[in-house]
Structure 1
Amino acid sequence: MGKLTALQVKNAKPGRHADGKGLYLLVKPSGAKSWVLRVQHGGRRRDFGLGSLDVVGLQEAREKALETRKQAKSGLDPSLERKKAQRSIPTFEEAAGKYHEAVKGSWRNEKHADQWLTTLETYAFPIIGNTRVDHIDAPTIQSVLLPIWLTLPETARRVRQRVGSVLDYAHGQGWRETETPRNAINTLMKRIKQPRRGPGFAAIPYADLPSLMKKLNEGQASVGRLALQFLILTAGRSGEVRGAKWEEIDFEKERWDISAERMKAGEAHSVPLPKKAVEILRRTKELTGAKKDQPIFPGLKGQPLSDATLAKVLRVAGGGDYTVHGMRSAFRDWVAEQTSFPGDWAEAALAHTLPNKVEAAYKRTKFLDQRRQMMTAWADYLHGASNVLKLVG
C-alpha cells in the first residue's frame, strides 16, 4: 500500500512527494502535478514519467508504476517498450474522438457535447486531423488558429481550448511527452491583436487563469490585486465587487449577500464563498483596516475602485487585452467544458435572470448549497488543484 492519500495528493505543495517503491508525485511551482517513477535499470537509476494528475489518478499511477517495475525487473527497457507502442499513437482526429467519447457522458448538455466536436471537425481536423498527437507543437497549433484568429476571434479561443484539452488527454495517455505548450502558443499569438466585438468579448481562456491567479498572489498585496482575485473566485461583476460592503459578508456562513438595488437585474443575490475567497477578504481587512464607511476594496479617498484600476491590474499581471468582464465567460466555459455541473447552477452563480420570476427565485434558493460545491471546485482549479472533484451525480 502506498504512503500517499487522495487528500495528500490534492493538497500537495511544490516538490517531490514519495508514495513508495520509487513512485513520486511531482508538483511544479505552477501547481501542475505529474507522476514520476524511479527504478534501477542497467545498473543505474532512471526516472520515467507516468502522466499528469489531470488524467492519471493515484490508483492508476500505482498500477502504471507496477507494470513499469515489472518490465525493468524482467530485463526490459521501459523506454524501449514505450517506443514500441509508437505505432499505436493516434492522430489528432483519433485522439479527439477518444477524448470526446470519454468525457461526453459527464456533460449534461447534449447540444454542447455535439458542438464541442463539431468545432474541431470544422476548424482543426482539416489542418491537423491526420497529424500524430506527439508531432503537434506550438507552431502547428498556430497554423490552426491563424485562419480564424481575426475573423472569428471567439471561435478561435474555443478551438485553442479544445485542442489543448485533447493534447493534455494525449499526454495523460502516454501518447506525447508533454502537455499542451500553452506558454509558447500565447507567445506566438499575443502580438496578433484580435478585434473587440462588444463587452462580452476578450474573455481569457480558463486554462490561463491558474497562472494569472499565481501572478496576482505574488509580491506585495494591493487592494486592486485582492479585488481582482475575489472577482475571479466569485465570478462576480465588476460593479458588484467594487461596490461590495463589509455588511454584505457573513463570515460564519461564508456567504456574500448582495441587495437587489446593487444587482444588474434588480434582484437580491447570494454568493457562497469558497475558502480562498474568505481568505482574500481577511487579507483585505488586514490591509485596509475594514472601515465601516468604506467599501471592502477602497480606492482613492475611500471611494470604490474604478473599473480602469481593475483593468490595469489585469494588464500588469499579464492579462493583455483580455477584459475583467470576460472572467465570467471563462468561468462559464470551464463549467461547460471541464465539469458536469448543471448549466442551471452556473447561470444561477452568474445571476443571470430567467423570464419566470417565480422559477428564478426558486432556483436561486435551491441551488445555493449546490453552487457552494461548484464554486469550491472552481477555486481549487484556479489554485492548481488539478484533481478537484469535477463530476456530480
Structure 2
Amino acid sequence: MSFPWAKTYTPTNPFMVWMDEKLPLPRLVYNAVGGGYEVPRNLNYMWNFGFLAGLCLMIQIVTGIVLAMHYGGNTAVAFDSTEHIMRDVNYGWMLRYAHANGASAFFVVIYLHIFRGFYYGSYKAPREMIWLLGVVIFLLMMATAFMGYVLPWGQMSYWGAQVITGLFSAIPLVGDALHTWLLGGFAPDNAALNRFFSLHFLLPFVILGVVILHVWALHIPGSSNPTGVEVKKESDTVPFYPYYVAKDGWTVGLFMVIYSTFVFFMPNALGHPDNYIPANPMQTPAHIVPEWYFWPFYAILRSFTQDFLFFPAKLLGVLAMFAAILVWFFLPWLDKSPVRSGGYRPLYRKFFWVLVIDVIILGYCGGSPAEQPYVLVAQLASIYYFLHFLVIVPIVSSIERPDPLPFSITDAVLGHDNAETGAAAAATKA
C-alpha cells in the first residue's frame, strides 16, 4: 500500500537512472520489499512466516530441479534411480534429504501462517483476496506434495497412490472412469508415475505464480497487524527495509538451524521406513499412512464408516475431507465480527485454542491405525472441526462483546491512550 509519507525511489547512478527509464525493475523491488514499502510498526514474529514460506518454496524448486536431472520417471528404474541419487550422485543424499525435509518445513511454516490468520482475522475485509489466494496455494501444495511422495516408488508411495486416487472412484456415475483416467490404467503403474512426475515438476512454478499474485494482493491494502487497527498516521508504520528485513533475517537464521538439524542429523525422522522397500503391488503394508502433514484431513476421511441413506461412507469421507479445506474460502463471510484480532476478542480466543487442540488430535488419529479408539476420537474431533467454522464462529461473532480497541497502532505500541487518559484524570482531580 502506498502512503503519502513513503519514500520514493530516486536513482543517482547514471546507469540506474537509464535502467529506471527503460525497465523499472529496481523501482519495483524497492516499492515491494525495500524502503518504499511501509509496514505497520507492531508486527510480531508471527508475521515472519510468510517470508519463511517463500524461502521454503525456493529451496524446494532449486533442489527439485537438480533431483529431476538424475531421477528416472519409469516404474522399472524409479526406485533404483532414487537410490542412485542417494549413493552415487555428488551430494545427492543432501539434496534429497533437503527436498524431503523441505516439504515438511514448508507445511510447518504454512500451518503456522494459516493459524496466525485465524487468530488475527487476516481473512477479513479488505484482505479477502489475499486469504483466498492463500487457500489456493495450500491446495496446490497438497497436490504437489502427494505427487512427490509417489515418486520414490517405494511401498508407501505405491499404496498411497492406490488409496488416494481410489477416492475419486467414490464419485457417483463418473468415479470409476475418472479414477482410470487419472492413473492411465486400472492400478498405479508407469503411466501414473509419469503423470505424477510431470505434474510434480510443474506445480511448484504454478505455486510461485500464485504466490506473486498473493504478494501483489497484499500490497494493495497493506499488511494487517496484531491489533487489527488500520494505519492512520505516519508514526504507525516503518519502512520494510531495514527494520523487517533484519527481523526476517534473524528468523531465517533460526529456521536454517532447525532445518539443517533435521537434514543432517535426523533426515528420516518424518518419513516412513516402508518407503525404503521397493513397491510391491502384491503385498499390502500393515498400516497405510500418508505424510504427517496430511494426517488431520486423513482422519476426517476415515471418520465415515457407515453409509448414510444412499450415500456410501467412502463418498461422504471424500466430501468431508475436501470440505475441511474449502470451508476456509467462506471464512471472511462466516465471521461477521467488526473486530479482526483475536487479541481483543476474549470469547473467540478461547474457541481458537480449542480448534488448535482439535486439529492436533485429528493429526494424531490420522497417523494412528484405523481402529478403536482412534476412529471414535477422530469422529468427535471432525464434528467439532466443522462446528467451529460453520456454527461457533458465526454465533460468537454475533454475540461477543470485544475489548476496547486502541485508537491507532502507535497508541497500542506506545500507550498514548493510557497516558492521555491518566493525564486527563489527574487534571480532573486537580
Q: TM-score, normalised by structure 2?
A: 0.23
Whose relative contact order is higher, 1 or 2, with alpha carbons under 8 Å and at least 6 apart?
2
Q: TM-score, normalised by structure 1?
A: 0.24
User: Which has more helix, going by share of residues?
Assistant: 2
User: Which has more strand, going by share of residues?
Assistant: 1
